[in-house]
Amino acid sequence: MNIQQVKQRFSIIGNTPRLERAIETALQIAPTNLSVLIMGESGTGKEVFSQIIHQNSTRKHNQYIAINCGAIPDGTIDSELFGHEKGAFTGAVDSRKGYFEVVNGGTIFLDEVGELPLSTQVRLLRILEVGEFIRVGSSKTQKTDVRIVAATNVDLLKAIEQGKFREDLYYRLNTVPITIPPLRERKEDISLLFKKFSNDSCEKYGMPRVSLDNSALDLLMGYRWPGNIRQLKNIAEQISVVEQERLITYEILKSYLPKTYDTRLPAIIPKDSEQANYSSEREILFKLLFDMKKDMNELKKLVHDIMENNEHNIHISREQEHVLNTILESPQEDNATFVNPNDSYVEQYHANTAKNIHVEDTHEIIDESLSLIDKEVEFIKKALAKHNGKRKPAAQELGISERTLYRKIKEYNI
């Protein structure tokens, strides 16, 4: 059987070189008993390749079974695969053969093999190495002659690094690897597949065929198709059945694609850690600048409030006058409070400034202590005074325990 015959028999659409290479590899290794690992994203048609291998092998007249390893609970998967004896666990009212015993001489397709528990992986490795297995609850070793074709949509090498998959099992399964390309790497096949699926659906339900205009075809080809062939078939069937208009436009097709279809844009990925941290550092810098602007606006509001609410002359030094002028003359933000130029005090202030009348500040400026200990002592004294020397309410006021307050009173000799 050649590649074209395989495509016709298994309804494979497409002429991408990588797809044809995968079919060619499947045909070459089909007559052997080598284990095969089929790799590809979900929805690319991995099970079809397992059927190609089985139907072109010497086992084609024997049984073939496909098992989704991710769909069987961990507690029962050993029983499903290898069988169990009566009384092996609660509910085991009778002995049962497992798939490896039933399919003796045939082919087992293990889909999502990366989901197997580690304990089951050990049993599977034993079958691959010597063709032996033991039923759950039994001590008797049994033989089986089964060809295993496994498939996965996860990176098994990464799973090995994370301790989720056995390295020795990976190399046993990966005797012959077959990689199926995702639909986004088969752009020339997308329109053919859409036409095939839509025509089949229209024929099934007795409806006129649909076609795509140029803009819709461009959208169809440019979409990433994360669900691959399964997603494309789903959308083609929906459009064929639901749409009254049989010429599909860009807007019609767009309405059937997920809302995130246009968010997968190209992005520049930093090559080193310094570039990778550039974005976060820039965000921190912007935050600091915004905080500084906010503080400046609040300072402007404060100066305005002081000048507006003070009914008497303010005695200011030259330095203070210069600072006030700088603040008031700087550009105001939209959310800042503007100084009213008609304010009587402001007029008086500018008049005095024009006459060079400067009155020195008569208030003494005392440097405030910034010592944390001094502040702590001050707060403790105020709290004790407020509660007439009672330590318990004073401690609650300060937000500390009474025992801590007692220790600090003794430490600071209060």
| 264-312 pLDDT tens trace | 444 444 444 444 454 556 667 766 777 777 777 777 777 666 666 654 4
Q: Which of 328, 320, 327 is nearest to 361 (CA)?
A: 320
What pLDDT, on the 0 to 100 scale, is given for residue 267? Answer: 47
CATH 1.10.8.60 placement within the chain: 184-262
Does the structural domain 184-262 have CATH classification 3.40.50.11900? no
How far, in Å, CA of 195 to CA of 188, rounded?
Answer: 12
Percentage of the chain modeled with pLDDT above 90: 57
Q: What is the mean pLDDT of residues 181-186?
A: 94
Q: Assign domain 372-412 to a CATH class.
A: mainly alpha
Per residue in 349-385, pLDDT (tens digit) is: 455 545 554 444 444 444 555 567 788 888 888 888 8
Count other C-beta atoms under 10 Å from residue 117's C-beta: 16
Helix (H) or strand (E) holding 141: strand 141-143
Cβ pair 178, 25 in contact under 8 A: yes
What pLDDT, on the 0 to 100 scale, is given for residue 396? Answer: 86
What pLDDT, on the 0 to 100 scale, is given for residue 294? Answer: 73
**Which CATH number applies to 3-181?**
3.40.50.300
Per residue in 300-341, pLDDT (tens digit) is: 777 666 666 654 455 555 555 555 566 555 554 444 444 444
CATH 3.40.50.300 placement within the chain: 3-181
3 state SS of 339: coil
Cβ pair 134, 142 in contact under 8 A: yes
Q: What is the mean pLDDT of residues 100-117?
A: 95
pTM for this model (two decimals): 0.61
